[in-house]
Structure formats: structure tokens, C-alpha cells
Amino acid sequence: MKAYCLNNISKVALATLTSPDKIVEDIKDADSILVRSADMHEMDLDANILAVARAGAGVNNIPLDKYAEKGVVVFNTPGANANAVKELVLAGMLLASRDIIGGNQWIKANVDNANIGKDAEKAKKAYAGNEIYGKKIAVLGLGAIGILVANACVDLGLKVVGYDPFLSIDNALKLNKKVVYEKNLNDAVRDVDFITIHVPALDSTKGMLNKDVLYAASKGVVVLDFARDTLVNEKDLEEALNNGQVKKFVTDFANANVVKFPNTIVLPHLGASTDEAEDNCAVMAVNELKDYIENGTILHSVNYPDVNAGAKSGQIRVCVNHRNAPGIIANYSSAISANGGNIVNLVSKSKGDYAYSVFDVDGKADAAKISKLEGVIRVRVI
């Protein structure tokens, strides 16, 4: 692997590289790219770039379809920063329940008061709050972060309701058995004291936290959004904050509207801003690139299917990025056989318009010939 860094990447991750893997200073010498926040939409990658790994979960800074058309596999690092976000969600719950911020602001405003100790005892009643123990929370979205939040809330003594129409078997097995699973969104938020959302930003989830959902909860519900700001219907939220249906709104996403809403706690996107999360994301990104460059394995791609053919079982491994269409695999197999190659292992999967196939072959394979076949985007022989 010869990776080029578009942003500063964790030194912990870079320390995992062993020769001949290395970070290169010129993108023309690279076969892959490591990125965090740099905008790649205007970047036209040269043919030498095989993959891009985003050290984080969101990939809105990367043109996924454009790169898929070039046979460039884009990776992200789901779950690597999940614990950091979980901890901030818990902090948000406590900040909304106990007026810690207000109390601290009072202290700062009275730093020159010689009697601050005695006066604080009188002032503190204005900043009293509620405990979270025994309260009820709806966790909307049970992916890497939602699972951790739900389980942590059980440990903290809350009654937890989970909602995720696409709950995977793996995540279901990780979910604490005390979490009540609901298939209907409004049922999930019925009479809860807290709502926290952890779903991806899609057309189908835009404005998901709307009037129907907010008013199905208990009056005075606390709403937390550490996922994406587009998930909240801001007009409905503002109304609910003004009339007290929503007691507090805690979000990690500042925008010109929300920062002016009453009873809000707005943070500057601190969810994954920990040294540990940065290291975890970068290490995962580096390992994803290494495995793809060296073994042809795709894990955690956002524009190609995940494919793991295991250890190479033939003399060579032929990796083909191609379009998802019927009959294509048979054409590739025939081309390999016609060149005297014997296919000993084959794994092929598709994702939307694109597919990826791995052929382990004893003998030879003519990559140039395969690359001319219909639907082929890129061919690589390892």
C-alpha cells in the first residue's frame, strides 16, 4: 500500500504501517488515499488510485458514484467512533436534566464575589433538575452507536425502547434483553421522557423527528440529535420548544436556525472529537486499504459490495470491479478458462449498479483481455 493523506492522519495509525507499506508525499505515487474532512468532489483521480478510505462514518465529502465509475472503492469506518458519540449522548442527557450549564454560568458571573460560597447555596435552587434513573428513553436507530446508547441506558437504570426497521441479526444479538423493541415509530416514542436518534441521513429519514413523533412522547420530553441535523423538522421542533412539549433539545449540529431556538443546548459537532476515536477511525481506515490493496478484500465500502474471498487459494487472484448485470460472471470465467486458467475459488457480490468479483486462479489470466469485456470497470491481478 502506498497511501496519500489529504488530511493529517493519526500518528497511531501511521505507526501500524510496516515496510513496504508507506505514506507517500506525491499523490501520483499513491495507490490509495486517506481522508478525513477534505472535500473530494472536484478531484479527478488518476488511474493509479484504487481506493479511498474516510477516517470516519460520514462520506458526504466524497463523490461515491463518480469514483465507483472509475473502479475506486470508497471505505468508511463505521463503529470506530461509536463509543465517543455514546458518551457524549449520555453527557447530553445529563446536561438537559440537570442545569449544569446554568449553574456554571452563575459561578462565572460571580467570580469576584467574596461571599460566593454562601451565596451559591442560596442560588443553587434555581438550577435544580431531575435524575435520569427510572426515566424512559426511545433509541431510534440501533446501529453501532444506537446499540451502545441503548445498552448504556439500561445500565444507568432507564427503561429503554428501541426502534429500527432494519435491525441486523448481529446488532439484535448485542442488544440488552431489557430493551423493548418496537416496530412502529410512534409506538416507540409513546410516553417517553427522552428521544435520541441514531439513523443515517437519507431521503426517507429527512425530517423524521416531526410533530407526530414529538407529540407522541410525554410532555416535557428531551430530544437529542447526535446523528444529522436533517433528521429534525425544525419548524415542528421550534413550535414544540415554545409550547413546552419539548423541554430541551440537545444537538451536535449548529445552524443559523437552531442556535436561536429556546431551551436548546447546541454543541459544535464534538461527537467523535476524542483522541481515541480519531485513532480508532484512522487505524481502521489504514487496515481497510491494506486488505484491499494486498488481498482484494472489501470491508465497509459505501459504493461497492463487501466481498471477502478469504486467503488466496490459487496461484493468482483476479479482482474485477464491474457493473451489475446478468451474464457478466460467465463471460469473465470463460475468458479466464480460455487463457488456460483454472478457477479454484469465486466470490461475487453486487450493490446497486455496481458489483465486485474475486477469482482465485491456478495458471494465468489475461487482464487486458478481461478489461475489454462488457461491464468491466477495472481489473487487477494479485
pTM for this model (two decimals)? 0.84
Give the C-alpha separation, 361 to 314, whole Å: 5
CATH number of the domain within which 20 lies: 3.40.50.720
Closest CA to 94 of 141, 152, 143: 152
One domain, residues 124 and 186:
yes
One domain, residues 229 and 150:
yes
Residue 125, pLDDT score: 96
Does the pLDDT value for residue 155 go beyond 90? Answer: yes
Cross-strand bridge partners of residue 376: 322
Give the C-alpha separation, 12 to 56, whole Å: 15
Give the C-alpha separation, 179 to 154, whole Å: 7
φ and ψ of 345, to 5 deg: -160, 140
Does the pLDDT value for residue 57 go beyond 90? Answer: no
C-alpha cell at 151: 445498552
Does the pLDDT value for residue 201 go beyond 90? Answer: no
Q: Among 258, 287, 304, give the residue marking a domain's end.
A: 304
Split into its structural domains, the chain has a count of 3
Give the C-alpha separation, 108 to 106, whole Å: 5
One domain, residues 125 and 256:
yes
One domain, residues 344 and 231:
no
Residue 30, pLDDT score: 97
One domain, residues 136 and 76:
no
Give the C-alpha separation, 372 to 365, whole Å: 13
Work out the mean pLDDT of the chain and round it to a whole number.
96
Does the pLDDT value for residue 92 go beyond 90? Answer: yes
Mean pLDDT confidence for 122-145 = 96
Give the number of other CB atoms < 10 A from CB of residue 374. Answer: 10
Q: Which of 77-81, 134-138, 323-327, 328-332 has the highest mean pLDDT?
A: 134-138
Mean pLDDT confidence for 324-345 = 94
Residue 27, pLDDT score: 96
One domain, residues 50 and 113:
no
pLDDT band at 299 (very low <50, low <70, confident <90, very high): very high
One domain, residues 192 and 202:
yes
CATH number of the domain within which 361 lies: 3.30.70.260
Residue 240, pLDDT score: 98
By residue range, what is the domain housing residue 62? 1-81+274-304
One domain, residues 291 and 317:
no
Comparison of pLDDT for 101 and 8, the residue scoring more: 101
Residue 202, pLDDT score: 87
Share of the chain above pLDDT 70, in %: 100
Residue type, 243: N
Residues 6+ apart with CB under 8 A from 276: 83, 84
Tens digit of each residue's pLDDT (9 = 90 or more) over 156-175: 999 999 999 999 999 999 99
One domain, residues 330 and 297:
no
Q: Tell me the C-alpha to C-alpha distance, in Å, between residue 68 and each of 50, 94, 294, 305, 379.
A: 10, 43, 19, 11, 13
One domain, residues 154 and 253:
yes
Cross-strand bridge partners of residue 138: 161, 195
Give the C-alpha separation, 33 to 189, whole Å: 42
Tens digit of each residue's pLDDT (9 = 90 or more) over 58-89: 898 999 999 999 999 999 999 999 999 999 99
One domain, residues 207 and 250:
yes
Residue type, 26: D
Does the pLDDT value for residue 227 go beyond 90? Answer: yes
Share of the chain above pLDDT 90, in %: 94
One domain, residues 77 and 88:
no
Does the pLDDT value for residue 258 go beyond 90? Answer: yes
C-alpha cell at 97: 436534566
